[in-house]
Chains A and B, each alone.
Chain A
Amino acid sequence: MANPKAGSQSTSIAELRKEADQLRIKLNEDRKNLDDAKLFEMGAKPDIVNYQARCRRILKGHSSKVLDLDWSLDKRRIVSSSQDGKVLVWDCFAASKEQLISLPTTWVNACAFAPSGCSIACGGLDNKCCVFPVNACSYSNSGSNVAGSATIRPSGAVGPSDVCSGSIMQQRKVVAMHTSYISACSFTHSDYQILTASGDGSCALWDVESSQLLQSFHGHQSDVMDAALNPMETGNLFISGGCDKRACVWDMRTAKCVQSFQTHKSDINSVRWFPTGEAFATGSDDATIRMYDLRADREIACYEKKSILFGINSVDFSVSGRIIFGAYNDYLVHVWDTIKGTKINSLLGHENRVSCLKMSPDGTAFCSGSWDTTLRVWA
């Protein structure tokens, strides 16, 4: 009796699939009815913005592809990780290296700076995300201790800047353990929690001191390539993008996927929030950057051009949100006008794929890292 059962199973699956498709079509129609205006049409009114940037610093020191980078909130330091297992902390203003951490694994896919600037987190193919202390803890930016602020509490762990891997490895703390590689990690609004995205299809929230898993988010059907936390302090949402072409919005309190968008045609490599925290942009292998709005619940803009064929590894917004930067595999950084949808500029400088791109916290410069082993700071 196995055959008829199998037969009915497969027909019922086919039926269910049809039903799902029909529902999707109906949803799209309903969304269309709520349309009022297209973003690019509205964007035709404001003036054209001219963005010129030159490469101001070239940071050389990695011996292999640079995979990820992050700025510190003191707007001066950058941490970058590369394929050879080395994580470097740079002073981008002086173009000098401040600290080197040598990990035993290669392919460090993700690195992040803590808000206080006292520690960094990094992870990769070793399926773990570790937190290391950084030299020279920063006190508050104004140079004097602000005792009243409850948000910054430097952890005070200081070690000598050491090239030798022995002592720094002793000071590391293994925080996150996944069952597959770590593709993205970032600190939440303090030094004590980390959000990680992994190739095993889940995102997770960890407590740094106890290395405990606070919350895990399942829902992607394939590797999750990037996750980003809402920049609003009162926000509870974070977004993730994965190889199943979906971008999901999660609520941190309930661990549920609140919204999900699937309009990309290929893997999503990077997700970034719009500065106000109500929209986000995703960059994908299909050479388009798409912007989704949470309140409109749909894709509101697609930044693509016929002549741009190569996929995007990383996107970031300018501080006002008017400009989007995309790090493409054709060795260029393309600069788009968010509301007009036109390409403003293309920055040439790298000699291999641009793998990561991040705007500095004050918006005066951005840094891009590439497979040609250098990082470039543009302004």
Chain B
Amino acid sequence: MSKKLSQEALRTQWQKALEGVLLKRPTDLIVDNSTFDLNDGVIIDIKDLEDQVENGKADISDIAINLKHPPRQSVYTKLSALLVEMQHATEGVQTFRQNFRALRDTSCKVSCKERERNQKDGVPDAFWTTELIRWLKQVLNIECDLEACHLATMLCKTGYIYPCNVQWNAVNFKISEPDGNMVFRYQTPFYWPNESQFPLDQDHASHLLMREANNHGIPMDEYEIMCLSRLKKVLKHQWDCITQSALTQTSFLEGCCPSDQYINAWQNYAFWRVRRPPAYYKYICKAESCLNGPNRNFPSFTETSIVPSENDKEKKTAMSPSKILTSSCKRSTGPYKLQCKAWGMSFDALLKDELGQLTFEKHLKKEFSEENLAFYLDCIYLRSAPLKELEELIQSIFSEFISPNGATPVNIDTQTLNAVKAEMKTKKTRFVFDLALEHIYKLMKKDSYKRFPSSKLFKETLETAIVPQKPEKEKGKLPKIWRLSQFLTKGKEEDPERGENNK
């Protein structure tokens, strides 16, 4: 029954799967006697698809659009495709029929007869971690072990595979090394994330009830017990229905062989582990307490008037500790070395930096063209100025820089000048001086800036520029800039972080 697909054909299948079509192969996807059917609306027979494309009736993308996949879940499409590859009989992950007995917890309360019987049956299609990692590395060209482990962890967290017979938690689950001893199985496609997006609380409740009745070797953990009691309260009026459905499911399953029962139990357990992780529970019942962090006394600190810096113009300003620290740091009034070097290399870096602007202004003063820079800065400010200042700004820039009667007219040719004047008359927007701006910018760049790096001023600044030093550390204590106590008024030995206790 299993077709031996060549490498070529395998690749096109993968491609098609990537485009949003989940394929149903002639081979069984999972040797699984579970009661859940592959959802028909999503699976397309590969023969069908090939026929349709051949007859020109449909384009692959058209088919993909008509399918049920939600548009933003392209990652699920890819993961599904990857899983399909994995399950291939010969090219996929090598699975084995796990000895059932080896998997079971010895504390499971199953009678001796059953245990004997189960020894013959095995759990089909289980695979070890090593095999999984090896396959992932091979197929996806991953060089690093850790990466493959991480991808495998993600596969588990999203609910495509699950570890067998282990009490695991989707939130902090991790496959940390490729030689792990965990055994995994594929989750049935019905339970894949893109098939069942929003499971109902009622289903969760019936699942928990079934777990309570028979936990198949994995005892219920505290979180599940809490969930069950909460659901009992919330779904009180539907509780009869839920218990009924749980009973029906259990009685149906009792007819199946034990390995099927275990598979079913594990699948459901894995499904609900992913859909209702313990973190989810914390989410909905959490009190808002985490904002009282270590800075809880912060408000009291800022309200005291500790203003150390003499540069502060507005004494009433409340300042945060970080501002106090940075403003009291010994910072040079000159630029840093790297900063200076950047000015020499890029005109834009020079203009963006304030110190750079000052230095360039000095340079321009020597060349008697400092009005260029002033015009440039004003125009840049104009572009993002508030609306109400717009009119007067335009007027002032015009009268100062453009108009020949102005104080400091900039050096633009008559063509540009006339264009700007025409713009002024037709429509006064914030972009009205753009032509002139471009002209001046190019002028500064090609002319004044060319001479800047070789100028005496720049060389001097570069020489006197400092390299930032690490703050001095006194023995055993934090460096002085970190100790907030230095900002307190003298005479009081108080730790500001504990807030002002006496006023």
Binding site for B on A (CB under 8 A): 60-63, 74, 76-77, 86, 91, 93-94, 96-100, 135-146, 148-152, 158, 160-163, 188-190, 192-193, 207-210, 212, 214, 232-234, 236, 243, 253, 265-267, 285-287, 306-307, 309-311, 329-332, 346, 348, 351
19 residue pairs bridging A and B, Cβ less than 8 Å apart: A94-B321, A98-B298, A135-B302, A136-B319, A142-B355, A145-B311, A149-B357, A151-B380, A152-B354, A160-B302, A160-B318, A190-B381, A193-B384, A212-B387, A234-B380, A243-B72, A285-B75, A287-B78, A309-B82
CB distance from B379 to the nearest CB of A (A): 9
Smallest CB gap from B73: residue in A: A285
Give the distance in Å from the alpha carbon of A160 to the alpha carbon of B305 in the complex.
12
Binding site for A on B (CB under 8 A): 71-72, 74-75, 78-79, 82, 136, 140-142, 146-148, 150-151, 154, 171-172, 286, 288, 290-291, 293-295, 298-299, 302-303, 311, 313, 317-323, 325-327, 329, 331, 333, 348, 351-352, 354-355, 357-358, 361, 377-378, 380-381, 383-388, 429, 431, 434, 437-438, 441
Q: A192 touching B320 by the CB < 8 A rule? A: no
Interchain residue pairs A-B with the least CB separation, the first 3:
A190-B384, A91-B322, A307-B140
CB distance from B304 to the nearest CB of A (A): 12
| Given A210-B386, A330-B151, 17 additional A-B pairs, CB 8 A | A96-B294, A98-B320, A141-B354, A142-B354, A143-B329, A145-B313, A150-B381, A192-B385, A210-B387, A233-B352, A234-B438, A307-B136, A307-B140, A311-B75, A329-B75, A331-B154, A351-B171
Q: B142 touching A287 by the CB < 8 A rule? A: no
Q: B74 touching A142 by the CB < 8 A rule? A: no
CB distance from B10 to the nearest CB of A (A): 14
CB distance from A190 to the nearest CB of B (A): 4
Give the distance in Å from the alpha carbon of A160 to the alpha carbon of B301 in the complex.
11
Question: Which of A136, A161, A209, A332 has most B Cβ within 10 Å?
Answer: A136
In the complex where A145-B313, A307-B147 touch, is A233 in contact with B380 (Cβ < 8 A)? yes
CB distance from B364 to the nearest CB of A (A): 12
Q: B291 touching A61 by the CB < 8 A rule? A: yes
Of B75, B147, B384, which is within 8 A of A188 by CB?
Answer: B384
Residues on A with C-beta less than 8 A from B352 are 233
Residues on B with C-beta less than 8 A from A62 are 290
Smallest CB gap from A229: residue in B: B384
Q: B327 touching A143 by the CB < 8 A rule? A: yes
Give the distance in Å from the alpha carbon of A236 to the alpha carbon of B293 in the complex.
43
Residues on A with C-beta less than 8 A from B319 are 135-136
Of A94, A148, A158, A310, which is within 8 A of B154 by CB?
Answer: A310
Q: B317 touching A136 by the CB < 8 A rule? A: yes
CB distance from B162 to the nearest CB of A (A): 18
Q: A163 touching B299 by the CB < 8 A rule? A: yes
CB distance from A241 to the nearest CB of B (A): 14
Q: A142 touching B333 by the CB < 8 A rule? A: yes
Q: A149 touching B377 by the CB < 8 A rule? A: yes
Residues on A with C-beta less than 8 A from B288 are 63
Q: A97 touching B298 by the CB < 8 A rule? A: yes
In the complex where A138-B323, A162-B299, A306-B141 touch, is A151 in contact with B387 (Cβ < 8 A)? no
Q: A285 touching B74 by the CB < 8 A rule? A: yes
Q: B381 touching A309 by the CB < 8 A rule? A: no
Q: B293 touching A146 by the CB < 8 A rule? A: no
Give the distance in Å from the alpha carbon of A152 to the alpha carbon of B74 in the complex.
45
Q: B384 touching A189 by the CB < 8 A rule? A: yes
Give the distance in Å from the alpha carbon of A97 to the alpha carbon of B311 in the complex.
25
Of B78, B361, B385, B438, which is within 8 A of A148 by CB?
Answer: B361
Of A210, A306, A311, A346, which is within 8 A of B140 by CB?
Answer: A306
Give the distance in Å from the alpha carbon of A371 to the alpha carbon of B330 in the complex.
39
Give the distance in Å from the alpha carbon of A309 to the alpha carbon of B193 in the complex.
15
Q: A161 touching B320 by the CB < 8 A rule? A: yes
CB distance from A35 to the nearest CB of B (A): 26
Q: A140 touching B354 by the CB < 8 A rule? A: yes
Q: B293 touching A61 by the CB < 8 A rule? A: yes
Residues on B with C-beta less than 8 A from A190 are 381, 384-385
Residues on B with C-beta less than 8 A from A97 are 293, 295, 298
Question: Which of B72, B140, B385, B387 has most A Cβ within 10 Å?
Answer: B387
Question: Which of A150, A152, A212, A310 has most B Cβ within 10 Å?
Answer: A150
Q: A161 touching B299 by the CB < 8 A rule? A: yes
CB distance from B501 to the nearest CB of A (A): 19
Residues on A with C-beta less than 8 A from B293 are 60-61, 97
Q: B303 touching A346 by the CB < 8 A rule? A: no
Residues on B with C-beta less than 8 A from A148 are 357-358, 361
Smallest CB gap from A141: residue in B: B354
Residues on B with C-beta less than 8 A from A267 are 71-72
Give the distance in Å from the alpha carbon of A177 to the alpha carbon of B37 in the complex.
48
CB distance from B402 to the nearest CB of A (A): 17
Of B321, B383, B438, which is within 8 A of A96 by CB?
Answer: B321
Residues on B with C-beta less than 8 A from A236 are 431
Give the distance in Å from the alpha carbon of A342 to the alpha carbon of B319 in the complex.
45
Residues on B with C-beta less than 8 A from A351 are 171-172
CB distance from B334 to the nearest CB of A (A): 9
Residues on B with C-beta less than 8 A from A234 are 380, 437-438, 441
Smallest CB gap from B299: residue in A: A161
Residues on A with C-beta less than 8 A from B303 are 160
Give the distance in Å from the alpha carbon of A135 to the alpha carbon of B354 in the complex.
23
Q: B141 touching A307 by the CB < 8 A rule? A: yes
Residues on B with C-beta less than 8 A from A214 are 387
Smallest CB gap from A98: residue in B: B320
Give the distance in Å from the alpha carbon of A346 to the alpha carbon of B144 in the complex.
11
Residues on A with C-beta less than 8 A from B327 are 143
In the complex where A63-B288, A210-B386 touch, is A285 in contact with B321 (Cβ < 8 A)? no
Q: A163 touching B147 by the CB < 8 A rule? A: no
Residues on B with C-beta less than 8 A from A76 are 322, 326
Q: A307 touching B142 by the CB < 8 A rule? A: yes
Q: A146 touching B358 by the CB < 8 A rule? A: yes
Of A137, A233, A253, A330, which is within 8 A of B351 by CB?
Answer: A233
Question: Which of A74, A99, A190 has most B Cβ within 10 Å?
Answer: A190
Give the distance in Å from the alpha carbon of A323 to the alpha carbon of B290 in the complex.
36
Residues on A with C-beta less than 8 A from B151 are 307, 309, 330
Give the distance in Å from the alpha carbon of A250 to the alpha carbon of B324 in the complex.
41
Residues on B with C-beta less than 8 A from A145 are 311, 313
Q: B154 touching A192 by the CB < 8 A rule? A: no
